[in-house]
Amino acid sequence: MFKIGWQVFRERLPALVDARRRRRIRLVGSIAVVVAFVGLVVLGLTTDAFDATPLPLAGRVVVGLLLSVGFGCLAAACVPSGPKGWAIAPIPGIGWRTQEAVARYHRRNPPPVDPKHRDAVLDRLPETRDLLVRSALGGLLLLTGCAATLLAVVIVDVAAISAGTGLSRLPLFWFFLGITGATTGIGGLRTLGRQEQLRVEAEALPPVPPPLPPRGRPGARSGSKLALPEE
At 151-205, the pLDDT tens digits run 988 888 888 777 666 656 667 788 888 888 888 899 889 989 988 888 888 888 8
The predicted structure's pLDDT at residue 32: 95
The predicted structure's pLDDT at residue 77: 92
List Cα–Cα distances, 148 to 124, 152, 196, in angstroms. 37, 6, 31
Please say whether the beta carbons of 88 and 128 come within 8 A: yes
Measured between alpha carbons, how far is 100 from 84 in angstroms, rounded to an integer?
29
Low-confidence ranges of the chain (pLDDT < 50): 88-89, 231
Measured between alpha carbons, how far is 30 from 79 in angstroms, rounded to an integer?
12
Indicate the pTM of the whole model.
Answer: 0.77
As a dihedral over the C-alpha atoms of residue 155, residue 143, residue 73, residue 81, rounded to 10 degrees, the angle is: 170
The predicted structure's pLDDT at residue 88: 47
